[in-house]
A and B are shown apart, each in its own frame.
Chain A
Amino acid sequence: MAEYFTLFMGAVIVNNFVLTRFLGLCIFFGVSKNLNASVGMGMAVTSVMTISSGLAWIVYNYILHPFGLTFLTTVVFVVLIASFVQLLEMIIRKHAPTLYNLWGIYLVLIATNCIVLAVPLLNAESNFTFTKSIVHAIGSGAGFALAIILMASLREKLQYADVPKSLQGLGIAFILAGMLALAFFGFSGMIPL
């Protein structure tokens, strides 16, 4: 149990995918302008990541690994995640229109995102068990949600700040992300992955 807890907390804080590994920066900057959108994005990424990690684990351990085709992992995972997200979008659209209105636009953004691909790849590389993969995926998703929600809260406040003209918009957002990353750097080494 303690092992899972460390894995989870490690993925959320110490090895935060956005702020220490610098993955998923596209959506991190694109959707962090407003708090509501970032909460939706965080939840969508977490759920997609968790389910696709599970699927990827099955494909890796029952198809790729036994046939000795582990060098195909990246290609197969890209295809797997892209089709899974498409499928998920169709199902949600049909059966949960409310959820689709909340998440729908984010799902398409996630389909080919590096952060969703990185988690299954890392799981495969570290030879995690199925449960561990899922825990790691949930942790990484929570870490992403944490980072994007922090960023959105800061950027909402920033609207009323007197930012120099040359830094307005993305410029100050990058500086802000750098500072957040520095803060998270303080956690490094607390839990070895």
Chain B
Amino acid sequence: MMSTSVLILLVLTTLGLLFGFILAFANKKFAIEVNPLIHIVEDVLPKGQCGACGYAGCMAYAEAVVMNPDVPPNLCIPGKEPVAKAVAEMTGKVAAAVEPRIAQVCCAGVTGKAVKNYEYHGVEDCVAANLLFGGPKTCSYGCLGLGTCVKKCPFGAMTMSEEGLPVIDPEKCTGCGVCETVCPKKVIAMMPLGAHVRVNCKSKDKGAVARKACSAACIACTLCMRECPHGAIKMENNLAVVDAHVCIEKCTDAKCLAKCPTKAIRPAVLGIVPGTESQEAVEKACSSCAKASTPTA
């Protein structure tokens, strides 16, 4: 009896000490020096883990920006200017300005305006609906309105309106671009902050076809293009495209808005459900936008 308990103590103590020493030795022998700066940089990053920087999360970017001299300090889009400055200061790099950007839903096809081919009663997910003949809407470019982007937004900046289009909260949107990536229709675009107008449509169909599918579609009539004195609007594949940088720099009065027959060109004011605002609301929003047009960057 006595000998067994002694044996237990002996064996367990020996094994414990042995493993302990092996681990202690290995800890010294295989020690890795982690640059403490990585953790400090990671603390500054917003931790949305959105991946807009092109790395697999904030930790990976912090490691890359500290260890690799070629990685610029301004890749964090949600963090905007302050984060870029802080990261640049810590890593001793020169920060180029981060262009603030914001998500825009380029579709005005609310219920009643966009024609539907069928009623969809499947899974509440745009990717799933897209598998079924590209979704219920006749316009194959339009927003499906099932809110995959709303669910995926890492900053909770999106909500679904009753009209069936996502609304972006400009206060919360950091411009990380997760919604742009998950949208199966690619109807969400990232736009530089400060532009006066945006094209609220993605339809590349010819005018007549686009109009038949949706009364709010861009029919590529080129009126806006001819109206814009700065040449900021161009026609590409039957769709008006606004060069946001020209629009920010040169435009003061946004004349194109009044010309658009289908109201596909809208003021780039967020928080309004696209396609539902009345003409007065648009004009009001437009004048305020023109006044507050100094880019916030």
Partners in one complex: yes
B7 at the interface (CB under 8 A from A): yes
Given A72-B12, A83-B19, A90–B122 Cβ distance below 8 Å? Answer: no
User: Which of A72, A76, A94, A162 sits near B30, CB closer than 8 Å?
Assistant: A94
Please name all residues of chain B whose beta carbon is closer than 8 Å to the beta carbon of A75 when the two chains form the complex: 12
Q: Which residue of A lies closest to B128 (CB)?
A: A160
Q: Which residue of A lies closest to B28 (CB)?
A: A90
Given A93-B32, A162-B123, A69–B26 Cβ distance below 8 Å? Answer: no
Please name all residues of chain B whose beta carbon is closer than 8 Å to the beta carbon of A80 when the two chains form the complex: 15, 19
Q: Which chain A residues numbered 66 to 85 have a C-beta less than 8 Å away from chain B?
A: 67-69, 72, 75-76, 79-80, 83
Chain A 59-71 near chain B by CB (<8 Å), digits 1 or 0: 1000110011100
Q: Which of B7, B8, B26, B123 has the most CB of A within 10 A?
A: B26
User: Which of B4, B23, B31 sits near A86, CB closer than 8 Å?
Assistant: B23
Chain B 7-43 near chain A by CB (<8 Å), digits 1 or 0: 1100110011001101100110011100000000000
Asked if B22 contacts A83 (CB within 8 A), the reply is yes
Chain B 89-120 near chain A by CB (<8 Å), digits 1 or 0: 00000000000000000000000000000000
Question: How far, in whole Å, are A94 and B123 apart by their CA atoms in the complex?
Answer: 47
A161 at the interface (CB under 8 A from B): yes
Asked if A69 contacts B32 (CB within 8 A), the reply is no
Please name all residues of chain B whose beta carbon is closer than 8 Å to the beta carbon of A64 when the two chains form the complex: 11
Asked if B11 contacts A160 (CB within 8 A), the reply is no
Asked if B122 contacts A76 (CB within 8 A), the reply is no
Asked if B127 contacts A160 (CB within 8 A), the reply is yes
User: Which of B7, B22, B32, B123 sits near A67, CB closer than 8 Å?
Assistant: B7
Asked if B30 contacts A67 (CB within 8 A), the reply is no
Q: Which residue of B lies closest to A100 (CB)?
A: B32
CB distance from B250 to the nearest CB of A (A): 46
Question: How far, in whole Å, are A53 and B22 apart by their CA atoms in the complex?
Answer: 19
Please name all residues of chain A whose beta carbon is closer than 8 Å to the beta carbon of B31 when the two chains form the complex: 94
Asked if B19 contacts A72 (CB within 8 A), the reply is no
Q: Which residue of A lies closest to B124 (CB)?
A: A162
Q: Which residue of B lies closest to A59 (CB)?
A: B15
Q: Which of B15, B16, B127 has the most CB of A within 10 A?
A: B15
Please name all residues of chain B whose beta carbon is closer than 8 Å to the beta carbon of A72 when the two chains form the complex: 8, 11-12
Question: How far, in whole Å, are A162 and B20 apart by their CA atoms in the complex?
Answer: 52
CB distance from A12 to the nearest CB of B (A): 31
A179 at the interface (CB under 8 A from B): no
Chain A 21-43 near chain B by CB (<8 Å), digits 1 or 0: 00000000000000000000000
A87 at the interface (CB under 8 A from B): yes
Given A87-B26, A161-B123, A162-B123, A69–B15 Cβ distance below 8 Å? Answer: no
A91 at the interface (CB under 8 A from B): yes
Asked if B125 contacts A76 (CB within 8 A), the reply is no
CB distance from A70 to the nearest CB of B (A): 12
Q: Which chain B residues numbered 204 to 222 have a C-beta less than 8 Å away from chain A?
A: none
Please name all residues of chain A whose beta carbon is closer than 8 Å to the beta carbon of B16 when the two chains form the complex: 79
Question: How far, in whole Å, are A91 and B27 apart by their CA atoms in the complex?
Answer: 9
Asked if A93 contacts B23 (CB within 8 A), the reply is no
CB distance from B76 to the nearest CB of A (A): 22
Q: Which residue of B lies closest to A63 (CB)?
A: B11
CB distance from B35 to the nearest CB of A (A): 14
CB distance from A84 to the nearest CB of B (A): 8
User: Which of A68, A69, A79 sits near B19, CB closer than 8 Å?
Assistant: A79
Q: Can you show 25 pairs from A to B with CB atoms below 8 A apart?
A: A59-B15, A63-B11, A64-B11, A67-B7, A67-B11, A68-B4, A68-B7, A69-B7, A72-B11, A72-B12, A75-B12, A76-B12, A79-B16, A83-B22, A86-B23, A86-B26, A87-B23, A91-B26, A91-B30, A93-B32, A94-B30, A94-B31, A94-B32, A160-B125, A162-B122
Q: Given contacts A90-B30, A93-B32, A95-B30, could you give 9 more A-B pairs where the C-beta distance is less than 8 Å?
A: A59-B15, A63-B15, A67-B7, A80-B15, A86-B26, A87-B26, A90-B27, A91-B30, A94-B31
Query: Interface of B with A (CB < 8 Å)?
Result: 4, 7-8, 11-12, 15-16, 19-20, 22-23, 26-27, 30-32, 122-123, 125, 127-128
Query: Interface of A with B (CB < 8 Å)?
Result: 59, 63-64, 67-69, 72, 75-76, 79-80, 83, 86-87, 90-91, 93-95, 160-162
